[in-house]
Amino acid sequence: MLTREKLKEFALEVAGVDKIGVAPIDRFKNAPADMNPLNIMPRARSVVVIASRILRGCYRGIDEGTHWPSYSIFGYQHLSGRLQAAAYRISRFIEDFGYEAAITGMGASSREWGPWGPAPRPDKPVRDVYLQLRIAATLAGLGEIGWSKVFLTEEFGPRQRLNAIVTEAELEPDPIRTGRLCDRCYRCVAECPAGAIPRDRSVSIEVEGHKLEWADIDLGKCKLTHFGLNRRNGQFLIKRYPGFYLPIEEQQVTWREAWDLGWTIFPSVHFYSVMSIGVPALCGARGCIIGCMKHLEKKGVVKNLFQNKPVFSEEPPWSLPEKPRPATHHGFIYHPENEKKKKIEVKPGRIWY
Ligand code: SF4
Ligand code: SF4
């Protein structure tokens, strides 16, 4: 017989995840149709949510301002792949007991893609149905959604990725635990290089007496920065396009538009073209994860602690100049400022660019 304890033991000891929790299907009864697990599996009885920690060292180079691949590859792309593999092993374990198990995928922003197609039947929602993983993780008792909208746990604070399995197996549920970690310190707001996390606008839902609330993030500004188009921490972009200036806080773009713009630019910026073998994470989550981690660790509410303290700098986060230096463009690009300057004498043999 499949029990919650058997499943947890397999997930933690064999599949190698760091956390697992179970939500009974009725906790999703008020979920919108495009986020309701019953629209994926009509006979579902439980939703199993798993988490793998992001190595703390992945953030070291970003906090120092010196090294990016560690987070983008091992804290994001590769870790997501590992979690998918673990979800597959756990699902196989469940199906060996005779219960169907569906891995729901890790798309955090499925609504931002827009509807993917017509409803297959009049009583079904427009494709595609995706779980909102952070809500599912809260309902499975893994932790809570912070003001930053990042999922927080007692073990790792904001450092984990999530995945979920919808199953016909009826498993003993875990209790919902909220209100323990995020104290509304707003360090995430202050240290987000995009200014994407508002202090005064939120989204909230209520489930079984728990209010789940998070900031109404500007996903377009976040994605532009996440994709390295923000000069404040876009050193690779600046190197390639020294005069490029996209004032992030003035942009009014959707998540999808920012996504498309990023993929248009990646091929021409060497580092981005290498990193975009998967979805790159070029902001480094400097406000919503690093800033939050510093706060929660200092407060002593995170269990996964380290020998060296303080582990990260207490200085304000580094930031590159937001605006480019005025450039004199010889020849090909008109700049009105150049009209006022002394005419440049062209000498024979001069190399133009
Ligand atoms: S990923 Fe970066 S830009 Fe987006 S909310 Fe977090 S800190 Fe802000
Ligand atoms: S930094 Fe973390 S603890 Fe502070 S408000 Fe943001 S999410 Fe909450």
Q: What are phi and psi of 204, to 5 degrees?
A: -145, 155
What pLDDT sits at residue 181? Answer: 97
Residue 314 has pLDDT above 90, yes or no: no
Give dist(CA 225, CA 232) in Å, integer: 9
Q: Which of 26-30, 166-170, 331-335 has the lowest mean pLDDT?
A: 331-335
The confidence band for 194, taking pLDDT boundaries of 50, 70 and 90, is: very high
Instruction: Look up residue 254 and give its two tokens.
Output: 């959707």
Q: What is the dihedral of CA 5, 11, 13, 17, to 10 degrees?
A: -130
Q: Which residue has the higher pLDDT, 268 or 312?
A: 268
Q: What are phi and psi of 52, to 5 degrees?
A: -120, 135
Give dist(CA 42, CA 36) in Å, integer: 10
Residue 344 has pLDDT above 60, yes or no: no
Give dist(CA 170, CA 3) in Å, integer: 9
| Distance of CA 221 from the midpoint of ligand 1 (Å) | 8
| Distance of CA 46 from the midpoint of ligand 2 (Å) | 30
Region 207-214 average pLDDT: 94
Residue 353 has pLDDT above 50, yes or no: no
The confidence band for 212, taking pLDDT boundaries of 50, 70 and 90, is: very high
Closest ligand to Cα 72:
1
Q: Ligand 1, atom 1: nearest CA belongs to which residue?
A: 285
**Ligand 1: which atom is nearest the Cα of residue 150?**
6
Closest ligand to Cα 228:
1
CB of residue 183 inside a 6 A radius of ligand 2: yes
What pLDDT sits at residue 352? Answer: 44
Residue ranges of domains in the chain: 4-114+123-299
Q: What percent of the chain has pLDDT over 90?
A: 75
Region 61-65 average pLDDT: 91
Structural contact between residues 163 and 49, judged by C-beta atoms closer than 8 angstroms: yes
**Ligand 2: which atom is nearest the Cα of residue 146?**
7
Give residue-wise pLDDT tens across range 119-154: 888 888 887 888 999 999 999 999 999 999 999 999
The confidence band for 53, taking pLDDT boundaries of 50, 70 and 90, is: very high
**Ligand 1: which atom is nearest the Cα of residue 149?**
5
The confidence band for 291, taking pLDDT boundaries of 50, 70 and 90, is: very high
**Ligand 2: which atom is nearest the Cα of residue 147?**
7
CB of residue 186 inside a 6 A radius of ligand 2: yes
CA-CA distances (angstroms) from residue 252 to 222, 223, 224, 225, 227?
A: 11, 12, 11, 13, 16
Instruction: Look up residue 38 and give its two tokens.
Output: 């019953």
| Distance of CA 288 from the midpoint of ligand 1 (Å) | 6
This prediction's pTM: 0.91
Q: Ligand 1, atom 8: nearest CA belongs to which residue?
A: 192
Residue 350 has pLDDT above 90, yes or no: no
CB of residue 188 inside a 6 A radius of ligand 2: yes
What pLDDT sits at residue 122? Answer: 85
The confidence band for 346, taking pLDDT boundaries of 50, 70 and 90, is: low
| Strand partners for 165 | 48, 103
| Distance of CA 147 from the midpoint of ligand 1 (Å) | 12
Give dist(CA 99, CA 306) in Å, integer: 40
CB of residue 146 inside a 6 A radius of ligand 2: yes
Q: What percent of the chain has pLDDT over 70?
A: 90
**Ligand 2: which atom is nearest the Cα of residue 181?**
3
Structural contact between residues 96 and 299, judged by C-beta atoms closer than 8 angstroms: no
Closest ligand to Cα 248:
1
Q: Ligand 2, atom 4: nearest CA belongs to which residue?
A: 185
The residue type at 72? S
